[in-house]
Chain A
C-alpha cells in the first residue's frame, strides 16, 4: 500500500530528525571525573522509537478524522437523543444522583473529600458556563467571585460570629454584586479587550486581598472559620466530610436545575442570542446592557455561594486558593465540557479535578499529562465533550 509506505517514511524521517536534535542533550555526556566522553546510544534509540510511534499515531489519527465516517455522528445523535428525551434522561439523572448519594458510604473519607472538591468545581463550572458558555462573555478572572464569597463568610464569621446558613445567601449576593460591578465598566468591550480587563480584575481582587492585611489577613489568610452546623449536632471529621459532600451535591443539583430552567427561558434565549450576534440581538428589542449584566451577576452568584462552602469546608483560607490558575481551570472546564452544555460541564469538572488528584502517583508528570489531555481534546473534539443541543419547543394545543 503506497500510503502506508509514505506514512512509514514520514515517521522515519521525523524520528531521525528528533534523534539528531536530541544527540547533544541525551546521547553525549562528558564525564569530567575521568575526562572521557560517554556515548549513550540507548537513549537516542528510545527517542527515535518514541518519535516514530507518536508520528505514526498522529498521522493515522489525522487520517481517521478526515475519513467521512458515520459512526461518531451516529453516536453523537444517540447521546443527543438521550439528552433530549425526558423519558430517557430522567431515569439516567436519577440513577446518577442515587450513585452520588451512595458514594460516601462506599469509599473512604479521603475519597469523599476529593469528590467534594470536584463538586465545588462543578458548581464553579456551571456558574461560569452561564457567563461564558451561554452569554458568550469571556471572563478570565472568575475565581475572584469565588474569593469574594469565601472571604465574605470568613470575615462575617470570625469577626461578627455570623453562622454558615446566614452567610450562604450573603456570599452569593456579594458575588452577584461584584459581578455587576465588573459588568458595568466592560459592557462595551469585546474579544481581546474583554479578556484583558477581566484578567486584570481577577488580579486586582487577589492583590487587594493580599495587601489589605488588617481586614483580610494578607498572605496569612484567615483561620478558624466555623464549619457549617447541622441542628447543633457534633460531627466527627468523617461525618463532617460526608455532610459537606451532601451539601455540595445539593448545591450542584440546584445549580444544574436552575441553569436548565433558565437556559430554555426568555432570559436564557436572550443570553444565547447575545452570544450569537449582539447587534441583531439589540435590534430585536433585547436590552443588551441589562442582559449582559444579568449574565455576569448570575454567573458570579454561584461562585459566591460555593465560595462560602469552600471557606467553611477548609476552615482556613488564604489568597493562594484564588490564583489565575484556578480561573483558568474553571474556564477549561467550560470549554472542555462544551460551551453551554450542563452535562458536559459536569463531566469536564469531574475529569479535570479528579484526574490530577489520582495522578499524584506520578506527581512530576501530572501537569504534563493534564496538558496532553487538554491538547488531545482540542484536536479530537474542539467543540467539547458534549455539544449543547437546542431545545425543540412544542406548541401545546390550547384546548
Chain B
C-alpha cells in the first residue's frame, strides 16, 4: 500500500536554529499515528511545514489521497494544501472567535464550495442550495463532536475543551483525507480527554481519514495510536508501535531528561 503522506528528510532552519533536522515520516490510509517528543522538539514546526505555513529548507513532502499518484506539496500555499486533503488544528487554538460555532464549521466548507461574489449577490437557486447544504453539513459536523447545542454561540465564549473540539469539527469540514491534530487534549480535563480518545477513533472510522496527532498525554497516545514517531531536537529518534516505543531506551532517556511531562 502506498503512503498517504510521505515526508522525506525534511529540514527547517530558523536563522541558525535547525528546528527540524532531516525528519522522514509516513502515514498510511486509515492509520492513527502519533508524533511525540519533549517541548521544543520541532513537532509543531513539522506540522507548519506540511500545511504550507512554512516552506521547508530541505526535503520533500508528498501526499497521495487517491492512491494513484503522489503530489509534492512542500512550498505550496496553505489553501492549496488544504484543498488537496490535509487539514489541521492548532496547538494554541485559532478559532474565529467573533463568529459562531456553526459559522466556524461552515468556513471549513469554503474550499469545497464555489459561490462567488455575483452568485452571492444574485442568490439564485444554485447558491441557495449550496448554502443550505453547507449549513446542514456544518450542523451534522457539530453534532458529531457534541457541540450542536452551542451552534449559535460565539466561538470565543466556548469552554476550552469545546473550543478544541470545534477546531476538530472545522478541520473535518474541509473534507480531508489526513487530519493533523496538534495537542488536541491540551487544556482538557480528564473526563474530556477520556471522551477525546473515543472521538478520534470514531472520526477515523466514520470519515475514513488518517490521523496524525501531536500529544503529550501518554495515556491517550498509547491507547489509540497504531504507530508512534519520537522527535528530539528536530531529529526523529524512534518509530514503532506503542509497545516498542514504551520499551525503547532512547525514548525513555529523552523523556527522563525532561521533568514534569504528563
Contact = CB atoms under 8 A, between A and B. Distances in A.
Interface of A: 258, 261-262, 265-270, 272-273, 275-277, 279-289, 294, 298, 390-396, 398
B54 to A, nearest CB: 11
A372 B100 CA distance: 35
Contact of B82 (A269, A279, A285): A285
A286 B113 contact: no
Contacts of B107: 269-270, 273, 281, 284, 286
Contacts of A392: 100, 102, 152
Contacts of B99: 269, 272-273, 276, 390
Interface string B67-111: 000000000011100110001101000111111101100111111
A159 B120 CA distance: 37
B78 A266 contact: no
Contact of A286 (B79, B94, B152, B154): B79
A155 to B, nearest CB: 28
Given A283-B82, A285-B79, A286-B107, A266 B113 contact: yes
Which DSSP category, helix, strand, loop or mixed, fits chain A's interface?
helix
B97 A276 contact: yes
Contact of A287 (B79, B102, B106, B120): B79
A267 B123 CA distance: 12
B98 A272 contact: yes
A258 B106 CA distance: 21
A265 B126 CA distance: 13
Contacts of B98: 272, 275-276, 390
17 contacts: A258-B121, A265-B127, A266-B109, A266-B113, A270-B107, A272-B99, A276-B98, A282-B52, A282-B77, A282-B79, A283-B88, A285-B79, A285-B111, A285-B174, A289-B77, A390-B154, A393-B103
Contacts of A267: 115-117, 120
A335 to B, nearest CB: 16
B256 interface: no
B100 A390 contact: yes
Contacts of A265: 115, 119-120, 123, 127, 131
Interface stretch (B22-30, B132-140, B183-191, B216-224): B132-140
Given A272-B98, A273-B96, A283 B120 contact: no
A396 B132 contact: yes
A24 B143 CA distance: 72
Interface of B: 51-53, 77-79, 82-83, 87-88, 90, 94-100, 102-103, 106-113, 115-117, 119-121, 123, 127, 130-132, 134-136, 138-139, 152, 154, 170-171, 174
A396 B136 CA distance: 8
A273 B94 CA distance: 11
A298 B113 CA distance: 21
Given A266-B134, A289-B77, 16 more contacts: A261-B121, A261-B123, A265-B120, A266-B113, A266-B115, A276-B98, A279-B78, A280-B96, A282-B53, A283-B88, A284-B170, A285-B110, A288-B77, A390-B99, A392-B100, A393-B138
Contact of B53 (A261, A279, A398): A279
B87 to A, nearest CB: 8
Contact of A261 (B77, B100, B116, B120): B120
Nearest to A265: B120
Given A262-B121, A270-B107, A283 B53 contact: yes
A269 B110 contact: yes
A262 B52 CA distance: 29
A303 to B, nearest CB: 17
A280 B91 CA distance: 12
Contacts of B100: 390, 392
Contact of A272 (B96, B113, B134): B96
A261 B96 CA distance: 21
Contact of A395 (B112, B139, B171): B139
A276 B155 CA distance: 11
Contacts of B77: 282, 287-289
A114 B103 CA distance: 40
B209 to A, nearest CB: 15
A188 to B, nearest CB: 12
B78 A283 contact: yes
Given A269-B99, A270-B107, A396-B132, A285 B83 contact: yes
* Pairs of residues from A and B, 7 with the lowest C-beta to C-beta distance, nearest first: A285-B111, A265-B120, A285-B82, A276-B96, A280-B94, A282-B78, A266-B115
Contacts of B79: 282, 285-288
A273 B109 CA distance: 13
Contact of A277 (B96, B111, B117): B96
B77 to A, nearest CB: 7
